[in-house]
Amino acid sequence: MHAAKISASHHGRIRVLMIIGFATLITLGFAVSLNSPARREELADPPHFIQDFVNQILGQMIVDRPPVEADRARLRELFTKACDLPTIGRFALGYYWNLASPEDRERFQQLFEANLIDASARRFQRYSGAHVIVTDQRPDGQSDAIVVSQIAGEQIGSIVLKWRVRQELSGLKVVLSGS
């Protein structure tokens, strides 16, 4: 009974926090991992890793129409393989993750992932037809590198994105740190 009261009372807060967390996540970035065994060798190169990842996303989108369910499905597949979505969702909810019931956490995660895919489909659809160029790389600590890329296209002009690439036991992981 008590858990049901907590769940009901926090439902509205969790929904608002989900929106705030999602906006924060888009602003601050999201963690991504590309760990295909066939690509281990090429992933040891952070600039190539970034270029490959962005090209995969850009290759999923088709210009001149709003994203359709097929675009979302392709992105969902790519993000599911490449992203640690549970960790990203927990990060987005922050402190309130510990206050949420297991049921609320599960529901939040479902909504968060759906919103992340939908927002990414809309955002990257605008970048369709663009190309990515890695413009800079510098080491940052023992296992990190900062990679700067530029996405350029007729519809969007030029957008600069900075990425933190971290070498972990499971392979390279990327955190999009913003533009």
| pLDDT per residue as tens digits for the range 45-62 | 889 988 888 888 887 766
Beta strands in 38-170 (DSSP E): 131-140, 144-153, 157-168
> What does the alpha-carbon distance between residue 117 and residue 78 come to, in Å, rounded to a whole number?
10
Q: What's the rounded mean pLDDT across residues 67-86?
A: 77
Domains and CATH numbers, the chain: 2-178 (3.10.450)
Tokens standing for residue 176: 């999009």
Under a CB-based contact definition with an 8 Å cutoff, are residues 49 and 172 in contact? Answer: yes
- Which pLDDT score, from 0 to 100, does residue 44 have? 65
What is the arrangement of strands in the sheet containing 144-153, beginning at the earlier edge strand? 31-33, 171-178, 157-168, 144-153, 131-140
Q: What's the rounded mean pLDDT across residues 31-49?
A: 54
Residue 140 identity (one-letter amino acid):
D
Q: At what angle do helices 102-126 and 85-93 cross, to 10 degrees?
A: 100
The count of C-alpha atoms lying within 13 angstroms of the C-alpha of 103, restricted to the half-sphere facing its C-beta, is 8
pTM for the predicted model, two decimal places = 0.61
- State phi, psi for 120 to the nearest 5 degrees: -65, -40
> What does the alpha-carbon distance between residue 73 and residue 80 come to, in Å, rounded to a whole number?
10
- Which pLDDT score, from 0 to 100, does residue 107 have? 97
Tokens standing for residue 34: 């590309």
> What does the alpha-carbon distance between residue 93 and residue 10 come to, in Å, rounded to a whole number?
12
**pLDDT tier at 137, thresholds 50, 70, 90:** very high
- Which pLDDT score, from 0 to 100, does residue 154 have? 80
Is the pLDDT assigned to residue 108 strictly greater than 80?
Answer: yes
